Amino acid sequence: MIPTILINGLVNSVVLVLIAIGFSLTFGISGVANFAHGAFYLLSGYTAWMLFRFLGLPYPLVILISVVTVGALGAIMYWVVLLRIRGIILSEVVATFAIGVAILEFFKWMGFHTYEFSLPVFIKGSMEIAGLFLDYQRIAIVFIGLALLLFLWFFVHYTKLGLALRGIAQDEFTAMSLGIDSDWTAMISLALGSALVAVAAISILPLGIIAPSVGYDVLLTALAVAIVGGLESTIGIVVGSLILGYSQVIVASYYTPLWMTVVYLVAIVGVLVIKPSGLFGKSKELEERV
């Protein structure tokens, strides 16, 4: 059982990293908590499905178009809606939440929730690791997760755009005084966050089916990981994902899978009570701010 928990826990944790990293990045740079995150995850899945099923495009092209499309939609959402209410946190949350629910309910209304809505795996088959047969898609998810983290590290440390994003995240006013456009970087962060969730969707959805309920689960997951790990910290996302990922697998293995969602909710409440900024969060505690 132990090797099974270790391996399944790792896969589960990387899945959580993939889901949450875009949400955290967007918030860390632009300060926008994108509550349409789950809807964009689903949107990229349905986009890929439609391109693959109806146009018969090669799958790598389908992936590219889906990621770019959803990234662009994130940018459009910022420019058309969020730019006007930037800084009004409650309005940003309500607006993105409304957009997200509208997208999810639209797909539900269209009847897009049967088992026929699924994406093909990258490679069929499975291999044995420590007595556990793990399908190649799950192994691919682990590598994609690691590659994404490496890419992000390289991007924010060694590219002009990435450094600009980091500058805005660290101190917006100083970055603006150096000529970095705050609105432009916020838009880029929305686009990047949306593109990252599209990558997550393309990687994870082949394990199951594309269903509107998945969108709500993804939002809850991203929130839980971001709150536990810290909203503006990539290290926090990774640690938060490991904590939640392994907790879920242990609870499901030794108690009951019914409690897997409860793990998220307990983690959110627990962290908010003990350390509201999250384990690696950069926001100052209330006492410090006062």
Partner 1 sequence: MKRVSLLIMIMFLGIGLMVGFVRISVAAEPIVIGVPTALKQPESIDSFRSAELAVEEINAKGGVLVGGVKRSFKIISLDTAEERPGIPIHDILAGVEKLVLEKKPHAIVVGAYRSESFLAQMDMIAKYKLPYLETISLTGSFEERMQKDPEKYRNIFRICLNVPTSILYYTELLKFLNKEFGFNRILFTVQDILAFQQTAQAVQKWCKENGWEVVGYDAYPTGSSDFSTTLAKAKGLKAQIIFPIYYTAESSILLKQARSARTPAILVGYVGPATQENAWGVFEGQVEGLVNLCYSIGQIPVKTVPKSGEYNKAYGKKWGEDLRRKLVGHGPASGYDAVYILADAIRRAGTLDGNSIVSALEKTDINGAIGRIRFNKNHQVVYGLDPKEAAVGCLFQWKKPGTRVPVFPLPIAEGKIDLPSYIK
Residues that bind partner 1 (CB under 8 A): 1, 4, 8, 11-12, 108-109, 111, 113-116, 126, 132-135, 207-209, 211, 213-214, 217, 249, 252-253, 256-258, 260-261
Shortest CB 253 distance to partner 1, Å: 5
- Residue 214 vs 268, nearer CB to partner 1: 214
Shortest CB 129 distance to partner 1, Å: 11
Shortest CB 138 distance to partner 1, Å: 8
Shortest CB 159 distance to partner 1, Å: 35
Shortest CB 69 distance to partner 1, Å: 24
- Residue 109 vs 173, nearer CB to partner 1: 109
- Residue 7 vs 82, nearer CB to partner 1: 7
Shortest CB 280 distance to partner 1, Å: 27
C-alpha to C-alpha distance for 63 and 95, rounded to whole angstroms: 28
- Residue 123 vs 272, nearer CB to partner 1: 123
- Residue 14 vs 25, nearer CB to partner 1: 14
CB burial string 36-72: b at 16+ within 10 A, e below: bbbbbbbbbbbbbbebbeeeeeeeeebbebbbebbbe
- Residue 25 vs 211, nearer CB to partner 1: 211
Query: Which three-class secondary structure string do you get for the chain?
Result: CHHHHHHHHHHHHHHHHHHHHHHHHHHHHHCCCCCCHHHHHHHHHHHHHHHHHHHCCCHHHHHHHHHHHHHHHHHHHHHHCHHHHCCCHHHHHHHHHHHHHHHHHHHHHCCCCCCCCCCCCCCCCEEEECCEEEEHHHHHHHHHHHHHHHHHHHHHHHCHHHHHHHHHHHCHHHHHHCCCCHHHHHHHHHHHHHHHHHHHHHHHHHHCCCCHHHHHHHHHHHHHHHHHHCCCCHHHHHHHHHHHHHHHHHHHHHCCHHHHHHHHHHHHHHHHHHCCCCCCCCCCCHHHHC
Shortest CB 16 distance to partner 1, Å: 12
- Residue 10 vs 186, nearer CB to partner 1: 10
